[in-house]
Structure 1
Amino acid sequence: MTFLDNLLKEFASLVWGLPLLILLTGGGLFLLIYSRFLPFRFIGHAFQVLRGKFDNPDDPGEISHFQALTTALSATVGMGNIAGVAVAIAIGGPGAVFWMWVSAIIGMATKFFTSSLAVMYRGTDSEGRLQGGPMYFITEGLGKKWKPLAVMFSVCGLVGALPIFNVNQLTQAINDILLAPNNIEVGFTSSLIIGIILVGITSVVILGGIDRIGKTAAKLVPSMVALYFVLVLIILAVNIQEVPKYFGMIFSNAFTAQNFKGDNFLGGALGGLILLGIRRAAFSNEAGIGTAPMAHGAAKTAEPIREGLVAMLGPAIDTLLVCTLTALAILVTGVWQTSDANGVSLTASAFAHSIPGVGKYLLLLCIFVFSISSLFSYSYYGSKCMSFLFGADKKHLYNYFYIGSIILGATTSLSMMINLIDGFFALMAIPTMLATIMLAPKVLNAVKVYVAKLKNEKGLN
């Protein structure tokens, strides 16, 4: 197991090298500038679309704009926000948060382009059903000669969509917060039982398809984000005198790498800190990875640009809001310096410190819902990859493989799981970003048409 752990660490480090950093961050920055900062100019209109102002029940697709966003968010607002931020701070200190923010701002442009393309170039599966996602916008937008890129994305997606990190951290949270303090023996057996229970819950929802996943996510995600928001505001109120100091340290430490404990990158600690922030932000909001376009590609709309505008709200909600809340909770309570805990256990320490008694149990409730909703969405992503590779009649087979992997995630180490998923996420980003950059002019042409149409409609009104 130690050999496998080291192997996966080397694999993740190799694929998350300078070429991918340039492609993901440099490519996203190019899209942001190329679009003339469109995500920020149209943010008000994006919220109007999200509220359903432009919904048309006769449009092609399976789920509403709101359900598409909450399905995508149910995958991204999860353990990446609670455990992933804790991992970033434990290794990089407050400065890691700044580079997560930078990645999120760039990621808004990336999400806009990838999700617009997911609707613009929808294809059909072997059963003739309309589908969207990087594998389809590669083959439909770039042509059949680019199919190897689509195959690469789908093969990596079969592994990248596995729920093992989420399950691993949920199991750790239940063991540390619920079982161990109540003198219930924690070990392989307790983790296995948790895994079996999660298998049962997940099976009920994911075997019902995207419609059931979308409806469940639309109910669960907003309420849990609201509860989490309130809990962190309580922690910040209790430690209000510390907030200005640590908010300032997020900026000052971003360029000094003062508290960085990880591996150097490009010859220095600052390079290592920047890479850490970008990796954790990519895991959290998934901009450029290609997962969210698979959910947004199922949206009931005939206007690709509308769906792109809704999708771009994802990194803002996920990283700029939820990840920042987690980071401040960990920083102002001081647990990042006084605790040896990592991942979700570090976040739990912050909640227990400022909201004694019930804090860690309310966090566990949020963790449980975030993790469960992530399990639903990722199964949809993996089954779409399976359908593209082997035919729609085989996609249900992925769900059984997926459900089995829940047991693996519940009973293995954090470092092994995070490196495995990190590595395959990186490989998924390569075809997604290459195709998106090549097809970007098509999106901008569609933007011009869409804006002109909006102006005409306003003129008529």
Structure 2
Amino acid sequence: MSFTAQLENAFNAFANFMWSTPLVVLLVGGGIALTLYSRLRPYRYIGHSLALLRGKYSHDDDPGHVSHAQALSTALSGTLGLGNVAGVAIAISVGGPGAVFWMWVTAIVGVTTKFYTATLAVMYRGRDSEGTLRGGPMYVIREGLGRRWYPLAVLFAIAGALGTLPLFQANQFITLLREVVAQPAGWATAESHRGFDFITGAVLALLVWAVVAGRIERIGKLTVRLVPSMVLLYLGMGGIVMLAHASEIPAALGLIVSDAFSGQAAAGGAIGSVIMVGVRRGAFSNEAGIGTESMAHGAARTREPVREGIVAMTGPVIDTLIVCTCTALMILLTGVWQSGGDIEGVALTAEAVATVFPNIGIYLLLLMVALLSFSTIVTFWFYGAKCVGFLLGAHRQHWYTPVYIGLIILGAVTSLDLVNGLLIGMYAVMAIPTMVSTLLLAPKVNQAARRYFAKLASDSP
């Protein structure tokens, strides 16, 4: 076995080890503990979050860099990605329809987790080496838990810098673009493929650079326009598919629920495998408890940490309960998940769309994947840059940008089998310091929440 194959196997083994039962217990069990500890308080204020997103309580002189809506859009642009299109298809292929139910459970629990992590991201913002106010799990640990917990902050920053590299997103987008555009045009040789991948990768890199040059303010302005458009486009496409199979929707929802507790459609027929697949894919989808999105919410312009927690908790609802459910219903209603063969991931979703849009379906999906990939790559730059700035100093983080831009091109022209396990494993590593710090500091959030909601009630007419 070659050294490359050995390294690939090692990275994949690392990812499987990290995403084993203990981490699932930490994410879901920790989320359930926070839900009970909060006495379900966050769920009562979904309506208030909409008022916050409209800017009703915003003031231009509040500390921070972006509005509540821009912070949420930036966070969603990182979570709304190929996991919503391809990840759901993989979950159904491996775990059966019942895996979707456990994705829902993860999202419902994730509402509370997001409330706590985003509140802490604002409550314990810290100054970087240049004196700029920053948020994120590494600052929460440093400012909220003290210096003796500092190694945990470093662990998050290292895992965040590695886990948010753009290799996967760039590779998957360029691969789909090549299959849709280059191959039908007759570019069948290996040389023409490499040329197409390099040129399109370079164009993508230049577009990303044009956005990230404006830092979080420009990213916020882009995503607050792009994310709603992505969601509406995808839901519109899924809505037409569901309309064509409207009479079968109750049966599909029933199958999701019944299979969640029987596991008959899962590989091996074990209910445990259904739960594990659903929880893992749910965690990848909405990132509740992972910590990346806290860096976006920590940049919100507000003096009330609880307000950003209320805004952040809508993320799992949009990401998993709405968008992922749309994907799941398209796959189940069209029956493509039972077609057999080796079709999986984004190809399975594409086949579902093609049943209703036989001529333009693949192009609609390509547009969606393009928007998802671009917004995720842009947001991941922000996450990675903040992690590098925490580790090496903010005055050195500008060196991260050319490296990141170069990796977009590298991801477009090379196979990712070698590093994919490493990237997935780093996401699991990030969850450990995020959830540990959140559980330890949860009482501080509860105190702030009681004060805030009491004041909100007293101010109401």
TM range (shorter): over 0.9
Mapping 1:432-447, distance limit 5 Å:
432-447=434-449
Q: Match of 2:267, SS?
A: coil
Q: 1:235 to 1:418 in 2, by over 3 A?
A: farther
1: CA distance, partners of 2:380 / 2:223: 12
- 1:118–1:132: 8 Å Cα contact kept in structure 2? yes
What is aligned with 2:178?
175
Which whole-Å deviations, capped at 9, do the CAs of 1:83-112 have from their partners, x for residues lacking one? 111221221121111111111111111100
How much does 1:214 deviate?
0.5
- 2:167–2:416: 8 Å Cα contact kept in structure 1? no
What is aligned with 1:292?
293
Q: 1:269 to 1:409 in 2, by over 3 A?
A: farther
1:122 aligns with 2:125: yes
How much does 1:42 deviate?
1.0
Letter in 2 for 1:209: R
Q: Which piece of structure 1 moves more, 270-279 or 63-72?
A: 270-279
Letter in 2 for 1:410: A
Letter in 2 for 1:160: G
How much does 1:408 deviate?
3.5
Letter in 1 for 2:34: L
Q: Which piece of structure 1 moves more, 445-454 or 413-422?
A: 413-422
Which whole-Å deviations, capped at 9, do the CAs of 1:378-407 have from their partners, x for residues lacking one? 100000000110000111122222222223
TM-score by length of 1: 0.95
TM-score by length of 2: 0.95
Mapping 1:301-380, distance limit 5 Å:
301-338=302-339, 339-380=341-382
1: CA distance, partners of 2:41 / 2:232: 28
2: CA distance, partners of 1:161 / 1:292: 11
What is aligned with 1:49?
52
1:245 aligns with 2:242: no
What is aligned with 1:276?
277
Q: Which piece of structure 1 moves more, 181-190 or 342-351?
A: 181-190
What is aligned with 2:71?
68
Q: Which piece of structure 1 moves more, 399-408 or 215-224?
A: 399-408
1:200 aligns with 2:193: no
2: CA distance, partners of 1:416 / 1:260: 28
How much does 1:141 deviate?
0.6
What is aligned with 1:405?
407
2: CA distance, partners of 1:25 / 1:259: 23
1: CA distance, partners of 2:194 / 2:53: 44
Q: Match of 1:184, SS?
A: coil
How much does 1:79 deviate?
1.0
How much does 1:342 deviate?
2.0
- 1:124–1:131: 8 Å Cα contact kept in structure 2? yes
1: CA distance, partners of 2:386 / 2:327: 32
Which whole-Å deviations, capped at 9, do the CAs of 1:47-88 have from their partners, x for residues lacking one? 111111101111000000000000000111111111111221
How much does 1:188 deviate?
4.0
2: CA distance, partners of 1:82 / 1:417: 21
Letter in 2 for 1:386: V
How much does 1:245 deviate?
2.2
2: CA distance, partners of 1:260 / 1:139: 43
How much does 1:417 deviate?
5.3
Q: Match of 2:63, SS?
A: coil
- 1:80–1:283: 8 Å Cα contact kept in structure 2? yes
Which whole-Å deviations, capped at 9, do the CAs of 1:266-303 have from their partners, x for residues lacking one? xx832222121111111111100001110000000000
Letter in 1 for 2:301: K
- 2:159–2:430: 8 Å Cα contact kept in structure 1? yes
1: CA distance, partners of 2:333 / 2:251: 9
CA RMSD of aligned residues (A): 1.7
2: CA distance, partners of 1:275 / 1:3: 26
Q: Which piece of structure 1 moves more, 197-206 or 304-313?
A: 197-206
Letter in 2 for 1:38: R
2: CA distance, partners of 1:363 / 1:342: 15
1: CA distance, partners of 2:8 / 2:435: 28
Which whole-Å deviations, capped at 9, do the CAs of 1:155-202 have from their partners, x for residues lacking one? 000111112222222123212333334433374443333322211111
Q: Match of 1:256, SS?
A: coil
Letter in 1 for 2:431: A
What is aligned with 1:265?
none
Letter in 2 for 1:272: S
2: CA distance, partners of 1:17 / 1:100: 16
Letter in 2 for 1:347: T
1: CA distance, partners of 2:194 / 2:355: 28
Q: Match of 1:42, SS?
A: helix
How much does 1:357 deviate?
1.1
Q: Match of 1:127, SS?
A: coil
Q: 1:62 to 1:228 in 2, by over 3 A?
A: same
Q: 1:261 to 1:413 in 2, by over 3 A?
A: farther
Q: Match of 1:215, SS?
A: helix
Mapping 1:385-404, distance limit 5 Å:
385-404=387-406
Which whole-Å deviations, capped at 9, do the CAs of 1:30-55 have from their partners, x for residues lacking one? 00111011221111111111111101
Letter in 2 for 1:260: A
What is aligned with 2:239?
233
Q: Match of 2:261, SS?
A: helix
Q: Match of 2:59, SS?
A: coil
- 2:212–2:218: 8 Å Cα contact kept in structure 1? yes
2: CA distance, partners of 1:55 / 1:195: 39
Work out the percentage of aligned pairs sharing the same amino acid: 53
Q: Which piece of structure 1 moves more, 36-45 or 151-160?
A: 36-45
1: CA distance, partners of 2:95 / 2:250: 19
How much does 1:347 deviate?
1.2
